[in-house]
A and B are shown apart, each in its own frame.
Chain A
Amino acid sequence: MKKSSQTIIHITPKQKTAFFSVREIWKFRSLLRQMIKRNINSRITNSPLTLVWGFIRPAIMTLAFFYIRRMANADMGQEIPYSLFIFSGLCVWFLFSETTANVAHSLKTDAGLSNKVYFPKILSPIAVLLGRWIDITFIVAAIIAFQMVLSIPIGIEALLIVVIMVMLLLLAFGFGILFSGLFLLHQDFRKIFETIIYLGLFLSPVIFSKEILPPIIQKYYSINPMVGILTGMRGVLFGPEEVDYFSLGVSFVFTVVLIVVGVKTISWALHNFEDQL
């Protein structure tokens, strides 16, 4: 700290540090820690039940879907009790959609800060992402608790849920920053974003298993990155379900590509439409 006479900041028209720079993130790790804390603290202070809502809302919706399926007497193709199937699906889906939305809006949320003080802008979405660990803990605990109630066997591979959840966060990150870049470009992307998130609930195997789809669709279904994550989640937790490693692999590749595209988009958008923030 005292060798300040040797430190130099050089300001030029070109953004010297990239949007995604591990060095910058590391330098600002102390701020990142505070931002994660702020994220969690402010959510909890704002609504003390916020963590419980992560599984209460899916639970309520589970009741609705359970009832509808009963009435229709439909086959959703699942191996485990439908209530657990749909509850776990909805929990993970809402976790994903909320995280994605928060990541997408994080730059705008922190614009009040980034317009006054310099810090790597990528900290905002990262803080949102890492602030979710506590939600994930609650949600996974709720799913496992429900599983126990229904006496569904659980194995050692349940620990792999950590990997699945990391993938979910990374996917939310890629998707979120891609759209936060697009938001800077044009406000209408907000509507498109909302629509995709809404449709995704029905296009992903949240309330049905992919087994009920026609074979031709099943073949390409894994392109939807949530397929790998949802089937993976059920596979590692619930004994009777299988992990679809192919879909999981596709999800992984998809996520990596999405993050690269997202970082490129947001960097470009920030450089050209910075004043939109």
Chain B
Amino acid sequence: MSMQETITDNVASPENVLEHIVLDVRKLSKKYRMTANLAAETRQKNNTSKKESRDFWALRDITFQVRAGERVGIMGHNGAGKSTLLKILSRVVLPTSGEATIIGRPTSLLEVGTGFNQILTGRQNVYINASLFGLTRNEIDERMDAIVEFSEIGRFIDEPVRTYSTGMRSRLGFSVAAHLDPDILMLDEVLSVGDASFQQKCLTRMNDLTGHGRTLLFVSHSTGAVRKFCDRCIWLSHGEVIMDGDVQEVCDAYESQMHGVTATFQAKRKTTKIAPITMNDNNSSADKSQGVLGELADGQVAEIVSAQVLDVNDQPAASIKINQPCSIEFIFDVLKPNLRVEPALHFKNEKGEILFVVAFTDVEYTDAINEVGRYKTIISIPKNLLNEGLHFVTLCLVTADPLTRHHILENAVSFSIYEVIGDTVNVARGRYARTLPGGLRPRLEWKTQKSNA
């Protein structure tokens, strides 16, 4: 309505733009000028042209198209240009070159509760906030009751916003956003802060409102959130599109680069020392595992060959749906006989905390492995066991008694467990919308009876 302009001659004709494309970004770039300090530095160096090195490209030749109904996540590390892109699409900053066309009524939420005035009441702020997004007074009047009810603010709505808690403020902001009714919704991290149950409520409403036609552009650096809310993902790095495609594919690639997540491990030929994959915090856990595993054996008794994470279809996978089983295929060589070699696994979460350790309990090998040879074992992980997030698996070859470690590979393989929004029946979440804490998230059997006592 008020925020748009009707078709004019300078806009690409319908022949050029496919019918369902709602966002067309072409070679979009944004250049920022650096501050004076850098200029001084440049003067000292004196070998590069001053103008060039003072420029910083936040975005460089970004090109992509979004069709109606797509839910696109924009991922990237800090400073990758995600927010700059969203700011340009929100018309808050102008691009340096390139162009973008938005077809439909967009709403961009760069911050929940934009423009909330501390001393005015919640109700007064709803009027300002909603009119910022292009609603007329009548439209706001119509939605006011719904907004207040949705926000769960209650009678506080007529109190100054300065008396609100952070949660109340973001609830009210979300609530306005949830009633704006846009064709294209652009969100910048706003869903990753604040009350998680309210986020869920908001997104459910977004889905309900228009269903198929609604397009979502969601900027985040959390693969979990993007996996949950999006079906397509664009990975930005240093202002350029690195990858654009299916959300699982792009998130897997992103995790493998950013967190060293790798679903497969393959030993080099005849290696005895393999550098463990480092994690952000594995000092304490390394100490712990040494404590568990005892002394390192003399000479090479057994050696890890390879390992990989397999999904429900036995295909290598770096990301596993929370309500599907997966397995780890572990291949190793036993080099000396009669030493009761057995494999073991340590599972750790993103923070490097040990979730659990599993010992070798294959009923076929009650006395562990005593014959020399190559072995392949598959360890099945039931569905609904691990919680959402990244999981790192340490591979071990040990003798249990006396405890001797033969070959240890810290975090040799890793994978991420994700949950798809809306699939609440088959997961342990139930009707609970918040992030469930803890490393594990088993779905247990419940048996409830009403007692007559």
Contacts and interface: CB of A to CB of B under 8 A. Distances in A.
- A and B held together in a complex: yes
Interface of A: 1, 4-15, 27-28, 30-31, 33-35, 37-38, 41-42, 45-46, 110, 112-119, 271, 274-275
Contacts of B385: none
A13 B96 contact: yes
Q: Chain A's interface: helix, strand, loop or mixed, by majority?
A: helix
B10 to A, nearest CB: 7
A12 B99 contact: yes
A31 B132 contact: yes
B91 A118 contact: yes
26 contacts: A4-B105, A8-B4, A8-B8, A8-B11, A9-B102, A10-B8, A10-B11, A11-B89, A11-B99, A11-B101, A12-B99, A13-B95, A13-B96, A13-B99, A27-B2, A30-B137, A33-B131, A34-B127, A37-B127, A37-B128, A45-B119, A113-B114, A113-B115, A116-B110, A116-B115, A271-B94
Given A10-B10, A11-B88, A42-B117, A275 B5 contact: no
B3 interface: yes
Q: Chain B's interface: helix, strand, loop or mixed, by majority?
A: loop
B36 interface: no
Interface of B: 1-8, 10-11, 32, 88-106, 108, 110-111, 114-115, 117, 119-120, 124, 127-128, 131-137, 160, 183
Shortest 7 CB-CB contacts between residues of A and residues of B: A7-B4, A118-B91, A11-B100, A9-B102, A34-B131, A4-B105, A116-B114
Contacts of B101: 8-11
Contact of A11 (B95, B104, B120): B95
Given A8-B7, A113-B132, 7 more contacts: A7-B104, A11-B101, A37-B127, A42-B119, A112-B115, A118-B91, A275-B93
A116 B92 contact: yes
A10 B90 CA distance: 11
A116 B90 CA distance: 8
A275 B91 contact: no
Nearest to A118: B91
A275 B32 contact: yes
Contacts of B10: 10
Given A13-B97, A30-B135, A38-B120, A114 B92 contact: yes
Contact of B114 (A13, A112, A271): A112
A115 B160 contact: no
Contacts of A110: 115
Contacts of A7: 1, 4-7, 103-105
A30 B11 contact: no
Nearest to B96: A13
Nearest to B1: A1
Nearest to A4: B105
A38 B135 contact: no
A9 B91 contact: yes
Contacts of A30: 2, 131, 134-137
A24 B2 CA distance: 9
B160 to A, nearest CB: 7
Contacts of A119: 132
B103 A5 contact: yes
A60 B10 CA distance: 60
B121 to A, nearest CB: 9
Given A41-B124, A42-B120, A112-B115, A8 B95 contact: no
Contacts of A9: 3-5, 91, 101-102, 106
B108 A6 contact: no
A70 to B, nearest CB: 42
A117 B2 CA distance: 14
Given A30-B2, A31-B132, A45-B160, A12 B115 contact: no
Contacts of A11: 88-89, 91, 94-95, 99-102
B215 to A, nearest CB: 11
A117 B133 contact: yes
Contacts of B93: 274-275
A5 B98 CA distance: 23
A15 B94 CA distance: 7
A112 B129 CA distance: 12
Contacts of B105: 1, 4, 7
Contacts of A34: 127-128, 131, 137
B64 to A, nearest CB: 14
Nearest to B7: A8
Nearest to A2: B1
B120 A41 contact: yes
Contacts of B133: 117
A118 B90 contact: yes
A176 B88 CA distance: 28
A179 B421 CA distance: 52
A118 B110 contact: no
Contacts of A14: 94
A274 B98 CA distance: 19
Contact of B94 (A35, A116, A274): A274
Most buried by B among A9, A15, A33, A118: A9
A274 B96 CA distance: 12
Most buried by A among B101, B120, B131: B131
B132 A6 contact: no
Contact of B3 (A15, A41, A118): A118
B418 to A, nearest CB: 30
B192 to A, nearest CB: 17
Contacts of A4: 1, 4, 104-105, 183
A8 B111 contact: no
Contacts of A275: 32, 93
Nearest to A23: B5
Nearest to A271: B94
Contacts of A13: 94-99
A27 to B, nearest CB: 5
Nearest to B116: A112
Contacts of B100: 10-11
